[in-house]
Amino acid sequence: MGILERIEGTLDVIRPALREDGGDVELVGFDDADGVVQLRLVGACSSCPISTMTVKQGIERRIMASIPEVREVQAVV
């Protein structure tokens, strides 16, 4: 299984909680050289005042725990 599929698999575990609040997350890409995952928050998550905390404290932590190649998760517009 490739890294993008592994990232999507981890996001699939997180998505139900985001969807309960009217939001979601899309995988934009992964930079192999830097180990950076780029995500886009959509729906209610895109305008949520704690979206930065959601990305760093929730999504990033879970992805990094599951996929050692990931060094950082960034939210993009």
- Provide the pLDDT for residue 47: 84
Total domains, the chain: 1
What pTM was computed for the model? 0.89
pLDDT (0 to 100) of residue 61: 94
Which CATH number covers residue 16?
A: 3.30.300.130
Can you give the residue range of the structural domain that contains 44?
Answer: 3-75
> Using CA atoms in the order 50, 48, 55, 39, what is the torsion angle rounded to 10 degrees?
-160
Q: What is the rounded CA–CA span in Å between residue 4 and residue 47?
A: 26
- Which residues of 1-77 form beta strands (DSSP E)? 23-31, 36-43, 72-75
Looking at residue 3, its pLDDT comes to: 95
Instruction: Tell me the per-residue pLDDT of 17-75, one tens digit each, with 9 for 90 and over.
Output: 999 989 999 999 999 999 999 999 999 888 878 888 878 888 999 999 999 999 999 98
